[in-house]
Amino acid sequence: MNNYLQRFLLENLDIRGAVVHLDSVWQQMLQDRNYPAPVMQLLGEISATTLLLGGNLKQSGRLTVQLRGDGPIPMLVIDCNESLHLRGMAKYTPPVAVQPVADLLGHGQLVLTLDMLSMRETYQSIVPLDGDTIATIFEHYFRQSEQLPSRLFLTASDDAVFGILLQKLPTADQRDPDGWTRIEALAATVHDQAMFRLTAEEILTRLFVEETIRIFDAQAVSYGCQEDPARIYDMLRSLGRAEVNAILQECGEIVVHDDICNREYRFDALTIDAIFREAGPTVH
């Protein structure tokens, strides 16, 4: 399994964590996007972080993570559901040069939205973009939301994405006063991309060779952009027949672009007529 999230516990230290690795799912997300390298890097790191957060979803729902700012990369959006179906996109103003993350994003906000079927209202958390890397931005969020010391170690290329989350449980200092500092330092040595071809168990064993590690079952990650024309039909119906006909008359066809999945839907007059009938069109 090359696209996975796998949780672990350092049993003698009371430090928990998770490993995430993507390759084919990440390549699907990048397909036909032609993102500049700095955009790709940030999107990959946020993809890993979203999965590390979304792996806690226990019921049907969706976690959406947005970074919004006034820099040359004004928006990054990633979401995943409880089955770890992942999708995402970035908006940027070219040219985008290699520069610090704070300059790429500018002043803005980190917005986390949790939409669960079991919840009466959507939960949303909004915090300032506080940090000079994607990891430190989310570590700041963890300090505010979970009140647990947390560290993220993230790597992204055009081939693969890798990340490790560490969280210090309240009893950790009682187990080993130096344990957290030692584990942080060991995790920070993750930089050799050849290691990312190993399994999570092999990676963790190499990093924390002297520790007792409990490794939980892996969760598979898949690309979450399956074609969904019914959603587009509902959107067109919500506009009303008169408005849709006016666009048809002006443009000759209706073009709807799904930015997050980088997919374009085109409808001619015959298809529009079928959409507004009760049965809807037949999809081939």
* pLDDT tens for the chain, residues 1 to 284: 589 999 999 999 999 999 999 999 999 999 999 999 999 999 999 999 999 998 877 777 889 999 999 999 999 999 999 899 999 999 999 989 989 999 999 999 999 998 887 777 888 899 999 889 999 999 998 888 777 899 999 999 999 999 999 999 999 999 999 999 999 999 998 876 677 778 899 999 999 999 999 999 999 999 988 777 777 888 888 888 888 888 888 888 888 877 888 888 888 888 888 888 864 554 44
Last residue of a domain, one of 223, 250, 267: 223
Instruction: Report the CATH number at residue 265.
Output: 3.90.1280.10
Last residue of a domain, one of 223, 239, 257: 223
- Residue 214, strand partner residues: 9
Q: Is 93 left (phi over 0), alpha (psi -120 to 50) or beta?
A: beta
* 10 in Cβ contact with 211 (< 8 Å): yes
Instruction: Report the CATH number at residue 156.
Output: 3.55.30.10
Q: How many domains does the chain have?
A: 2
Q: What is the per-residue DSSP string for 36-57?
A: -HHHHHHHHHHHHHHHHHHTT-
* Same-domain check for residues 242 and 142: no
* Same-domain check for residues 197 and 259: no
* Same-domain check for residues 255 and 147: no
* Same-domain check for residues 136 and 260: no
Dist CA 112 CA 50 (whole Å) = 9
* Same-domain check for residues 241 and 212: no
* Same-domain check for residues 235 and 217: no
207, two tokens: 């990093």
- pTM here is 0.86
* Same-domain check for residues 79 and 150: yes
Q: Which domain holds residue 256?
A: 229-275
In a domain, 281, yes or no: no
At residue 197, φ and ψ (nearest 5 deg) are: -85, -5
Q: How many residues does the chain have?
A: 284
Last residue of a domain, one of 190, 205, 223: 223
At residue 37, φ and ψ (nearest 5 deg) are: -55, -45
DSSP conformation class of 195: G
173, two tokens: 């200092």
* Same-domain check for residues 56 and 157: yes
Dist CA 93 CA 72 (whole Å) = 5
